[in-house]
Structure 1
């Protein structure tokens, strides 16, 4: 597993990934065409730092840090395509992203959140060194249903 910058020719992999029902909410707009996928890749440089998660040459996921503020804080997100879940890829990629963000970007605090009904995402966060900090009640709304979110954080000083 390695991280690399997204490339325009990764658009077909992005489009395939966002066909998974549980990943559709991971994009700020619906990714239903190849042009949408190219736009998703092109939007990252202004929004934050995103990396393709690869196994060999195959793109299997994404890790990103965005929302970087003047206090050295950033918001982490991750996803892995269904066929590659359960192998520790998301946790390893998220840990590597955190090390990069602390070392290369000089950030101090990274935060992430996951729905409380998503224990797999919670395992990714904790395996990547993100400690739970609390529940944000009814934070997300998908298809008219409200969901609680558990927030996690990792500091550059955490061991």
Structure 2
């Protein structure tokens, strides 16, 4: 099959595993994956801290958003993974490496955890795993992570995974559920040359 006719998933990034987790690409043709994506992206706690540009309100809009991410992955500009339990395979959440810039060798990390998986260090383990993968397999130099000011849990996860706070970006995020209101964002970053966190 010619490269331009390969299925999108055939051209995606490899899937990292470890930390008791199994990461794999979201499958927009899987009803189970779409249902998990919809639950995660419509969860009130997720929406409290994030305002997606593509709203996910129902099954079809979730599938459409997943297909859009799959196209971007095929272009090499992002990598989005379903975070699953290594033993049971149960869905736990999501982690994505967004806006991959091959010239400056950077990327931006984002994650969310399904309600039933919270309190199990899922985001911390997934961030540690994807950070090592991005530095070694993708040869990235810098990873950034941003969260709304006040999101203490995300701040703790970043610090624990070796992403020190670099500052506050004023008015850098949309307000919760709004495109006409802005809020400040904490910026964290980690370099490939930084020591591995304990």
TM-score over 0.5 for the alignment?
Answer: yes
Equivalent residue for 2:93?
61
1:1-159 superposed matches below 5 A = 1-8=21-28, 9=30, 10-24=33-47, 25=50, 27-45=52-70, 46=72, 47-55=77-85, 56-69=88-101, 70-142=103-175, 143=178, 144-159=180-195
Partner of 2:12: none
Unaligned runs of 5+ in 1: none
8 Å Cα contact 1:27/1:40 also seen in 2: no
For each residue in 1:41-73, what CA deviation from the matched residue of structure 2 results, as whole angstroms up to 9, or x when unmatched?
A: 222231410111112222121111111121001
The CA RMSD measured in Å over matched residues stands at: 1.6
| Runs of 4+ with >4 A deviation | none
**Corresponding residue for 2:3?**
none
Q: How many residues align?
A: 159
Q: Are the aligned partners of 1:2 and 1:93 in contact in 2 as well (CA < 8 Å)?
A: no
**Structure 2, unpaired ranges of 5+:** 1-20
Q: What SS is found at the alignment partner of 2:56?
A: coil
Return the offset for 1:150.
0.9
The 8 Å contact of residues 22 and 89 in structure 2, kept in 1 or not, is answered as no
Residue by residue over 1:76-126, the C-alpha shift from the partner in whole angstroms, topping out at 9 and shown as x without a partner, is 111112222222110110111111111111111000111121000101111
